[in-house]
Amino acid sequence: MSVSTQRANLVPVAPADPVNVIQLSRLVTAQLPNDSIANLPAASQWQRVGALPQGDVYRSLGGLFTVQTRRQGEAYLVASSGKLVGFYLPGEMAYLPLNRPVTLPVEMRQ
């Protein structure tokens, strides 16, 4: 299940920045380049932890969120213009782009 990732350097949120949390209003299903599926649960909450050139990076507040790449690993959402565009893999310091971005139905922002 090898997938092509891009090296990525996460720019962390500055301590002075306000906490930014989003909550999804429904289940989001994203197809990874290796044809495996990533499901983001309805009502899951995600906190902004930084940014990449591809978009803002959010970490799950409900426990470890993983995707299957070369190995099972933790993944953070990468969102731009209201869409999930890929995942940041902190263990690999890599960005995994989606072939097709998926709309993120955000119910709540804090």
Would you call 1 helix, strand, or coil by DSSP? Answer: coil
Q: Collapsing DSSP states into helix, strand and coil, what is residue 13?
A: coil
Residue 18 has pLDDT above 80, yes or no: no
DSSP reduced 3-state for 42: coil
What pLDDT is stored for residue 6 in this prediction? 82
pTM of the model: 0.89
60/9: higher pLDDT: 60
Residue 71 has pLDDT above 90, yes or no: no
User: Mean pLDDT for the chain?
Assistant: 89
